[in-house]
Amino acid sequence: MPRVKRGNKRVQRRKKILGLAKGYRLTKSKLHRSAKESVDRALQFSYRDRRTKKREFRSLFIIRLGAAARSNNISYSRFINGLRKANISLDRRVLAEIAIKDPETFSRLAESAKAALAVA
């Protein structure tokens, strides 16, 4: 079996790991083995937390919408149900932004949701 001399590939691979570990403290940014462990762990966290972030933001939007809906004398669930029945298809992120930045428009949305619930 022929001998494999890795040459550049090995150096490039190690350099990539150490580049990703830049900013870590002590040996985690200097030594390849501990840098590789730290980088692998960090990449696992980042993969997991990209999904967790979506969950947390949806929860935040729902909390904001619930507070804004209650200030317009309607519960969150009735507000969302009323919007569906009124054929207003805005996602929770946009609705939460409207609730914060433009309360008048949000109160009009709440009124249309109430009206759609009254009709149905």
Shortest CA distance to 41 belongs to which of 27, 26, 23, 28?
Answer: 28
Q: Give the integer Cα–Cα distance in Å for 66 and 45.
A: 31
CATH code for the structural domain at 8-119: 1.10.1900.20
pLDDT for 120: 65
Write down the pTM of the prediction. 0.77
For every residue of 34-49, DSSP letters joined together read HHHHHHHHHHHHHHHH
Domains in the chain: boundaries: 8-119
Q: Give the integer Cα–Cα distance in Å for 17 and 29.
A: 9
pLDDT for 117: 93
Shortest CA distance to 90 belongs to which of 75, 106, 101?
Answer: 106
pLDDT tens per residue, the chain (120 residues)? 888 877 898 899 999 999 999 999 999 999 999 999 999 999 999 999 999 999 999 999 999 999 999 999 999 999 999 999 999 999 999 999 999 999 999 999 999 999 999 986
Q: Is 75 helix (H, G, I), strand (E, B) or coil?
A: coil
Shortest CA distance to 70 belongs to which of 105, 98, 102, 106?
Answer: 106
